[in-house]
Amino acid sequence: MLSTMQDVPLTVTRILVHGTLVHGDSKITTWTGTGEPQRRTFRETGLRAVQLANALRDELGVRRDDRVATLMWNNAEHVEAYLAIPAMGAILHTLNLRLPAEQLVWITKHAADRVVLVNGSLLPLLAPLLPGMESVEHVVVVGPGDTSLLDGCAPAVHEYESLIGDRPTTYDWPELDEREAAAMCYTSGTTGDPKGVLFSHRSIYLHSMQVNMAESMALTTSDTTLPVVPMFHVNAWGIPHAAFMSGINLLMPDRFLQPGPLAEMIEAERPTHAAAVPTIWQGLLGELTARPRDISSLASVVIGGSACPPALMEAYDKLGVRVCHAWGMTETSPLGSLAQTPPGLTPEQEWPYRISQGRFPAGVEARLAGPDGEFMPWDGEAAGELEVRGPWIAGAYYGGAGADPFRPEDKFSPDGWLRTGDVGTITPDGYLTLTDRAKDVIKSGGEWISSVELENHLMAHPEVAEAAVVAVPDDKWGERPLATVVLKEGSSATYESLRAFLAGRIAHWQLPERWAIIPAVPKTSVGKFDKKVIRKDYADGKLDVTKLS
Ligand code: AMP
């Protein structure tokens, strides 16, 4: 028997209309560096989004299913694009501005983007790539920039404000099927070509509701959130959509992502919440130690994208900022799990929950696949590859123009679950602890060593700024850990002292023999440790490695 409920599609259009009308007074503040920040209400933003939709349709000929790309920082205009493009039935494609040039061109071609909205400050990046981006017919420049760079290399150039300026503030939004694609993102592609994930209107709507739940980020209209995580990194973890849905004020950092400006904007604009990968928080911590600022407004922050070192969490605790650890992937929209703790615990009892990757929400079903394909118990001990499914989890990748979606076997199980490539354990009450990426685990003489565990211990050393551990080939054991360490300024730590520090904390056989001090850990385009670069540098003999006996 079917229900008696109305079948109203869950769409981004609804988020746009609702946020504009009901939360019209909420604000988006965009940092401008030195001058007064740019301030817009949700009402203004919503109306400008309508004008943008009119301009894209009437002036640029954008139609249903057309891909419209953005190469933009986190700012109010990017939010306008986030809302307008899906609501008009087109697909928002956020381009990762830190990808290597050839990948950006490849992705744009693969997605067949017809239009690129680009921040003026990013024209030097885009202009030389445009001749290779064959599908692009229009470039819309947002904010000041040297448009002469586009001379001769762009098909048609428009200036954002004049394009949208006099357009109507009403739009006859199309009736959309909630399962239609609203936005797309490519995975950072550590192996092979990047893979496109198409988020549906329904998945974005449901994910936004989850983001705001008290069990997740617990944001309300009295909050101001600062998404430092870029809007091209899995939709800034869903925060802009979730904010517009519930009237949460946004503080947008634009291109000012260095520790100094971040500290300054937190002190000046007093956000209550923020979200970023660990490397950003590590950098900010260094800045706050060197030049203390008032960040007391920040009640809680979400750290995810790679494992949050417990020492980092402790350091922010001392500053009065509660860190909430979260796990996710491009394929999971990205909210997969989030470490809110059970009630009634002392800080000591809470700690193991807080440093875990967190608890799954109802929308994310999880299981652990063991080495022989059997499913492992949720007992907090048995490890396996995490597989997930749910309404905001990808079931396939985008196949390219006209082609069917594709489901590579290493990414999807025969019964359709997403194989995450992450290895870990789950407690009986549903808390996930990741021990490694499947490809980063160190397989030493038939035993597994967690590179993340070694890194976390090393980064708890008072003189270590960063540490990355990778597997390297070993004649006797198959693989052994290589510890690469970035020391804090003025440190006199030796390899022997670092190893002695580890010795009290991990089993003796796991202690690395090979060590290298490096100036900085190489990072991926979204600020994660790029271990493949370290492995390659080691293989090419570029690292100055000391082997302790
Ligand atoms: P991406 O799709 O680029 O965001 O990468 C997703 C991957 O980042 C996951 O599969 C994990 O390997 C890693 N990741 C994300 N969050 C965490 C976390 N909290 N702890 C450990 N790894 C994480």
- Give the residue, by CA position, lying nearest to ligand 1 atom 13: 306
What is the architecture of the domain spanning 7-200? 3-Layer(aba) Sandwich (3.40)
What is the mean predicted confidence (pLDDT) over 87-92?
A: 98
pLDDT at 446: 76
Choosing from 434, 436, 453, 469 the residue with most ligand 1 atoms within 8 A of its CB, the one to mutate for a pocket test is: 434
Going from the C-alpha of 159 to that of each of 55, 127, 147, 163, 483, the distances in angstroms are: 11, 15, 9, 6, 50
Give the pLDDT confidence of 461-478 residue by residue, as tens digits. 999 999 999 999 999 899
Task: List, as own/partner pairs, every contact residues 463-469 make where C-beta atoms lie below 8 angstroms and the sequence separation is at least 24, other chains included.
Answer: 463/487, 463/488, 463/491, 463/492, 463/493, 464/488, 464/491, 464/493, 464/498, 465/282, 465/286, 466/282, 466/520, 466/521, 467/521, 468/521, 468/529, 468/531, 468/534, 469/442, 469/512
Choosing from 233, 306, 423, 452 the residue with most ligand 1 atoms within 8 A of its CB, the one to mutate for a pocket test is: 306
Distance of alpha carbon 85 from alpha carbon 60, whole angstroms: 13
**Is the pLDDT reported for residue 549 higher than 90?**
no
Q: Which atom of ligand 1 is nearest to the CA of 188?
A: 3
Distance of alpha carbon 79 from alpha carbon 276, whole angstroms: 18
Give the pLDDT confidence of 102-138 residue by residue, as tens digits. 999 999 999 999 999 999 999 999 999 999 999 999 9
Q: Which amino acid is at 479?
A: E
Token duo for residue 336: 């997969």
Catalytic residue among 215, 365, 443, 536: 443
* Domain 440-547, classified CATH 3.30.300.30, yes or no: yes
Where are the domain boundaries for CATH 3.40.50.12780 in the chain? Answer: 7-200
Choosing from 190, 234, 329 the residue with most ligand 1 atoms within 8 A of its CB, the one to mutate for a pocket test is: 329
Answer left, alpha or beta for residue 323, where phi above 0 means left and psi between -120 and 50 means alpha.
Answer: beta
Q: Which atom of ligand 1 is nearest to the CA of 452?
A: 21
**Is the pLDDT reported for residue 190 higher than 70?**
no
What is the 380 CA–ligand 1 centroid distance (Å)?
Answer: 20
331 is a catalytic site residue: yes
| 3-class secondary structure, 8 | coil
- Give the residue, by CA position, lying nearest to ligand 1 atom 7: 329
**Is the pLDDT reported for residue 402 higher than 90?**
no
Across all residues in the chain, what is the average pLDDT? Answer: 95
The full DSSP string for 438-479 is TTT-EEETTEEE-HHHHHHHHHTSTTEEEEEEEEEEETTTEE
- Give the residue, by CA position, lying nearest to ligand 1 atom 5: 329
532 is a catalytic site residue: no
Name every protein residue with a CB atom under 6 angstroms from any ligand 1 atom.
187-188, 234, 304-307, 325-330, 334, 357, 420-422, 434, 437, 526
What is the mean predicted confidence (pLDDT) over 531-547?
A: 94
Q: Which atom of ligand 1 is nearest to the CA of 233?
A: 4
**Is the pLDDT reported for residue 515 higher than 70?**
yes
327 is a catalytic site residue: no
Distance of alpha carbon 118 from alpha carbon 163, whole angstroms: 13
Q: Which atom of ligand 1 is nearest to the CA of 326?
A: 19
Distance of alpha carbon 245 from alpha carbon 461, whole angstroms: 42
pLDDT at 370: 87
161 is a catalytic site residue: no
Contact 59, 101 (CB under 8 A): no
> What is the distance in angstroms between the CA of the first residue and the CA of the last residue of the chain?
72
Token duo for residue 386: 């995490």
pLDDT at 401: 59
Q: What is the dihedral of CA 270, 42, 239, 17, to 10 degrees?
A: 160
Please state which of the ranges 136-140, 192-196, 304-308, 497-501 shows the lowest mean pLDDT.
Answer: 192-196
- Give the residue, by CA position, lying nearest to ligand 1 atom 9: 329
What is the mean predicted confidence (pLDDT) over 69-79?
A: 98
Distance of alpha carbon 301 from alpha carbon 247, whole angstroms: 18
Where are the domain boundaries for CATH 3.30.300.30 in the chain? Answer: 440-547
What is the 220 CA–ligand 1 centroid distance (Å)?
Answer: 26
How many other CB atoms are found less than 10 A from the CB of residue 443? Answer: 13
